[in-house]
Structure 1
Amino acid sequence: MQNRDKVLIVDDEQAIVELMGLYLRSEYDVINAYNGHEALERIKIDKPDIVLLDVMMPDMNGYEVCRRLKTSVETQFLPVIMVTALSGKDDRIKGIEVGADEFLGKPVNRMELVTRVRSLLRIKHLQDKILAERNDAMNYLDAAGFIVVVIDAELRVNLINRKGNETLGYEEFELIGQDFVKAIVRNDMIADVRASLEAAMTGTSELPDYWEIPIVRKDGRHITVRWYDTVLNGNDGEITGLICSGEDLSIFDE
């Protein structure tokens, strides 16, 4: 039997929780919470697939619960539908700012509720599939034993494997979005490395077969890495970034 998706319903009014649960129970496993703190605990324990979240709660309002979920690596992709009697434009803007995926007004319409839950779960399943494929690819890159960094046309880090983070001394997502050159290249080499990478991005020059660059770890220790860089092209042939594969040469000096 296929596992059913789990829906967490959060509201401080028991009657509303029971009504929405009645609407959804035929298709989903329903979990209940009656305040913000309980909701966060239920999410940690039960790992729901979607959250229906009341805005106006006494101890911790829905905006704060949503903000915590969307700023956590573990729950940032968890769909959140804000359920509220508030209808003002500013209230919706505040919900968007904290990362809400959808809004439902009170009293909740059964058809609208079921349709939006179903739609967001379909998107979540696609995201889960993409993330699983990404994780498989990352495991393969980690097994290779090389530092692997993907940077975009603006030299920002889009992806870095476990070996890269370990070698450079960073946590898993710490380098994502940072300027690759500014973050790790030794100060006296920044201008030259940036110029070379930018020239490769614009197609005005080719990268060498490999190059050895002094790198600064997060803890300040200097190491030398031999980089083998490959240009990434989009469907139209335009250069969209680089894959930088690196070998830590300092291990041979130990």
Structure 2
Amino acid sequence: MTRKRSKILIIDNENDDVELLEAMLSSDYEVIKAYSGCKGLEIAIAESPDMIILDIMVPDITGHELCRTLKNNERTKLIPILMLTSLAEREEKIKSLEEGADDFLNKPISHMEILSRVQSLLKIKHLQENIIQERNQAYQYLDAAGTIIVIINTDTEIVFANQKSCDIFDWEKKDISGKSWIDFIPEDGCESRKQDLLDTLSGKVEPPEYYERLVVTKNADGTFSECMILWHDVILKDSEGNITGIIRSGEDTTERKIIEEELSKANEKLQISHKLKDEFLANINHELRTPLISIKGFSDLLYNERLGDLNEHQKKTMESVVRNSERLQHLIESLFYVNEMQNETIKYTFSLINIRKILEIIKKDMSPQIDQKGIEVTTDISDSLSPVHGNARYIESVLMHLLGNAIKYTPSGRKISILASEENGEIHIVIKDTGKGIPKEMLTHIFSEAPEEETKCDICYCSQDYGLIICKKIIEAHRGTIGINSEVEQGTEIYVKLPVFVDKGPICT
């Protein structure tokens, strides 16, 4: 008999992402699609899918809110939810789990990773469904109590056991009655548990409200096994207050323990996966940097004519090679910055830096892009800027990214302004373009890692720019601030404020 294919609901407003997920999953699963949060909620309630893949930035309702709503609904609360996000912030992951998400993945998604997560979550769900099904089936045959009930007298003899108890222990009522409860205690720890029981029956100690203990059960072939039971004891007393026995009620938690062990093993595998990822990135870091150092070194030698004179065309070509090798270096450093940011292992080496000199360097380095677009870049940088205590490499990366964005979104023939001044103990840096500008409703999302909505348009910064998020992290690590002002058709200015170093000292160049 062909097994019914599991049904997976994808909730994402990005057509490309939905189509990619569908291509990855459709061969093994039945895929349902929803392009908004409200529609996804409607389909989830009506269709009862086996699993939901939910993008954190769906329109009309946030991914976190939708996740919370699904987990609070009786029809959908047991459906596993896999959250997708392009954001790497640890707080966002924690928030997703707090709202009820069962797992999360960062975009871009690999084929093997999504299949592995889907299979794991569906396996857990199927185990849960099997447990629920077996429990419901067992309830049909339970006697009135529906739970294990055993009465033990002060001599540790079983004077009563209900049908549920007999089913669990696999004993007939006539055979179990009269046996000592001690016979059902496993050999490992038997003496201490026997003493606990005698102390309880004598009134020396009060039993805990709930506790888990293994009991010995009989198999059909006459051999014995062990079963984990969650127990609750009630002391029986006569009219004079003397203890006459214990009513011991319990619930079999063996299957739950099995699931917990499987989850623990799955978590160990996940931790190993994270460790392998970190080791892989560490190796890639070395493998990328080593040839890049050689490329950059020889490029500099050629460009500076240390290995022979260059004609004008060769000089221009080598200038492009040097510039792009530096860009590649910045990209590689950004990649590993994101990884370090995720693992919270970033270490900054601070020294005194000259902001004016950094601005002059990045303007010179980016002059080919400026000239190519025919943009005029004006500067107004104070000659007397105090030094800043920071990491020169990271600050240069921030300012280069901001200037690069300004160049990218400024039409040919227009202007860009770079201003730097010192006010109230801070260095104020402003990079202003004359592009199309940004709608007011988008400004609050520029540096946010979890925008509430995403609007499709071709205006500057409308799509999530993770580079700006990195910039914000770096500036905040330097005890500074970064912000944005913009109006549609009036251009955009991004400002950075960094505290000056009070004690003047030698400036790192």
TM-score range, shorter chain: 0.5 to 0.7
Counterpart residue number, 2:447: none
Change (3 A) 1:129 1:19: same
Count of paired positions: 169
Deviation at 1:43, TM superposition (A): 1.0
Work out whether 1:115 is the aligned partner of 2:116. yes
Is the partner of 2:127 in helix, strand or coil?
Answer: helix
C-alpha distance in 1 between matches for 2:68 and 2:197:
37
Partner of 1:247: none
Q: CA offset at residue 139 of structure 1?
A: 2.6
- One-letter amino acid of the structure 1 residue matched with residue 74 of structure 2: V
Q: Distance in 1 between matches of 2:9 and 2:230?
A: 44
Letter in 1 for 2:66: V
Corresponding position of 2:135: 134
Query: 1:10·1:35 contact (CA, 8 Å) conserved in 2?
Result: yes
**Equivalent pair of 2:45/2:76 in contact (CA under 8 Å):** no
Q: How far off is 1:233 after superposition?
A: 6.7
Per-residue displacement from partner, 1:115-150 (whole Å, max 9, x unpaired)? Answer: 110111111111110110111122333xx4x35578
**Alignment-derived partner of residue 76 in structure 1:** 77
CA displacement at 1:49 relative to structure 2 = 0.6
Measured at CA, do residues 137 and 8 of structure 1 come closer, stay the same or move farther in structure 2, by a change above 3 Å? same
Distance 1:23 1:132, change over 3 A: same
Letter in 1 for 2:12: D
Superposition deviation, residue 22 in structure 1: 0.6
The aligned counterpart of 2:213 is: 234
Task: Please tell me whether the aligned partners of residues 9 and 53 of structure 1 are also in contact (alpha carbons under 8 angstroms).
Answer: yes
Match of 1:58 in 2: 59
C-alpha change, 1:75 and 1:50, in structure 2 (3 Å) is same
- The CA RMSD over aligned residues, in Å, is 2.9
Secondary structure at the counterpart of residue 200 of structure 2 = coil
Distance in 1 (CA, whole Å) between partners of 2:96 and 2:199 is 43
In structure 1, distance between residues paired with 2:230 and 2:112: 46
* Uncovered stretches (5+) of structure 1, i.e. residues with no partner: 152-199, 207-230, 245-254
Tell me which of 230, 249, 273 is aligned to 1:243: 249
- Report whether the alignment pairs 1:205 with 2:201: yes
For 1:1-254, list aligned pairs within 5 A.
1-141=2-142, 144=143, 146=144, 148=146, 204-205=200-201, 234-235=213-214, 240-241=231-232, 242-243=248-249
Q: Deviations over 1:22-75 (max 9, x none)?
A: 110000000001111111111122211111000012211111111122223332
| Equivalent position of 2:470 in the other structure | none
Give 1:201 deviation, angstroms.
9.0
CA gap 1:150/1:235 in 2 versus in 1, 3 angstroms: closer
Identical columns (%): 40
Determine the C-alpha separation between the residues in 2 that align with 1:73 and 1:93. Answer: 24
Go from structure 1 to structure 2 and tell me whether the alpha carbon gap of 1:18 and 1:139 turns closer, same or farther (over 3 Å shift).
Answer: same
Greater Cα radius of gyration, structure 1 or 2: 2
SS at match of 1:16: helix
Letter in 1 for 2:31: V
Seen in structure 2, the aligned counterparts of structure 1 residues 31 and 239 have a Cα distance that, compared at 3 Å, is: closer
Residue by residue, what CA displacement relative to the aligned partner does 1:150-204 show, whole Å, maximum 9, x if unpaired?
Answer: 89xxxxxxxxxxxxxxxxxxxxxxxxxxxxxxxxxxxxxxxxxxxxxxxx99961
Q: Which one has more relative contact order, counting CA pairs under 8 Å at least 6 apart?
A: 1
* Native 8 Å contact 1:148 1:243 kept in 2: no
Structure 2: give runs of 5+ residues left out of the alignment: 150-195, 203-209, 217-228, 233-247, 251-509
